[in-house]
Amino acid sequence: MPTSTPSGLIEQIQALKRTQNAVILAHNYQPGPIQDLADYVGDSLAMARWAQASAAQRLVVAGVYFMAETAAILCPDKEVLIPDPEAGCSLAESITPAQLTAWKSQHPDAVVVSYVNTSAEIKALSDYCCTSANAVAVAQSIPAEREILFLPDFFLGSHVARMSGRTNIRVWLGECHVHAAIDPDALTAQVARYPDAEVLIHPECGCTTRSLALPAAGIATRVLSTDGMIAHTRASSANTFIIATEIGLLHRLRRQNPDKHFIAAQQEARCPFMNMISLEKIHETLLSGRHRVTVPRPIRERALLPLQRMVNAAPS
């Protein structure tokens, strides 16, 4: 069937979804046309919750591979498809199961808290999972005397240690290459250009440390997950916001707040993995049923408890 015009393609995707009892779950960093088409758009925590709550039998995850694996672990009876299985994540790649096993053996009494941006094998070796939306709450729920191994994101782990006040958190030295590359000087330059703007920073950002000095200079600054930014910008009386995260989020922010202004801290902050998903690939995966994501049973069963703890933890 010809799929040349985007509107024709979108109509065909909608028709396939209806006949297949399928839904599309999209992450906040997805390209605008995919966000507009999706049944749900949200952060990693919302996507996991929607996957579990959905009555649909087929879930198309418009996001990266670990998000589809998360849905497959939480919903083993549903068919989870990813339009491009090569859509990985540099942060998830920054720790291997062998490295985590060795780290755990050095700290046998520690509690392992893994960010959701990890492979299923890493989740299976963990006690808790979290997202950027509830990482602080998860850390605070662990008895104060227990040491925590937090992985794999160094900047998020440092934020959790700061916000929870815990001194017994060891943090893995991993990073997301997109967020780590948001240049503190670029952020400072945007703050100088828009002195009345509120500054919203994702905790994976390398510029988070520099931003700690902004409130003392009278700049309203918050460290938030992507859905945290959505909620905050809707409620805030401010008119202009500087956004330090992947630029796909700006689409949703602008759509939900047409009268407000959103400035990227750095326009080049674009995740190549998120942008591997396209309308054409969504159409093709619905047509063919290809790229089903499954997790081997022993790994799935071990990863379920830490992931369910993440789903149950309220945003911090």
273 binds, among ligand 13P, ligand SF4, none (CB under 5 to 8 A by kind): ligand SF4
Site pattern 204..223 for ligand SF4 (x: CB under 6 A): --------------------
- 266 sits near ligand 13P (criterion: CB under 6 A): no
Taken in order 316, 25, 62, 256, is the CA torsion positive or negative?
A: negative
Interface with ligand 13P, residue 132, by CB under 6 A: yes
Stretch that binds ligand 13P, among 32-40, 96-104, 126-134, 158-166 (CB under 6 A): 126-134
> Out of 226, 233, 285, 316, which residue is the one contacting ligand 13P (CB under 6 A)?
226
What does 90 bind: ligand SF4, ligand 13P, none (CB cut-off 5 to 8 Å by kind)?
ligand SF4
Task: Indicate the residue among 174 and 283 with the shorter CB distance to ligand 13P.
Answer: 174
Closer residue to ligand SF4, CB minimum distance, 110 or 243: 243
* Per CB under 6 A, 43 contacts ligand 13P: yes
94 binds ligand 13P (CB under 6 A): no
* Residue with smaller CB distance to ligand 13P, 44 or 114: 44
Residue 69: name its binding partner from ligand 13P, ligand SF4, none (Cβ under 5 to 8 Å by kind).
Answer: none
Which residue number, 54 or 226, has a Cβ lying nearer to ligand SF4?
226
3-state SS of the chain is CCCCCHHHHHHHHHHHHHHHCEEEEEECCCCHHHHHHCCEEECHHHHHHHHHHCCCCEEEEECCHHHHHHHHHHCCCCEEECCCCCCCCCCHHHCCHHHHHHHHHHCCCCEEEEECCCCHHHHHCCCEEECCCCHHHHHHCCCCCCCEEEECEHHHHHHHHHHHCCCCEEECCECCHHHHCCCHHHHHHHHHHCCCCEEEECCCCCCHHHHCCCHHHCCCEEECCHHHHHHHHHHCCCCEEEEECCCCHHHHHHHHCCCCEEEECCCCCCCCCHHHCCHHHHHHHHHHCCCECCCCHHHHHHHHHHHHHHHHCCCC
Binding mask 228-267 for ligand SF4 (x = CB under 6 A): ------------------x---------------------
- Does the footprint of ligand 13P cover residue 126 (CB under 6 A)? no
Whose Cβ is closer to ligand SF4: residue 210's or residue 270's?
Answer: 270
The residues of the shown chain that bind ligand 13P, judged by CB under 6 A, are 43-44, 117, 131-133, 176, 204, 225-226
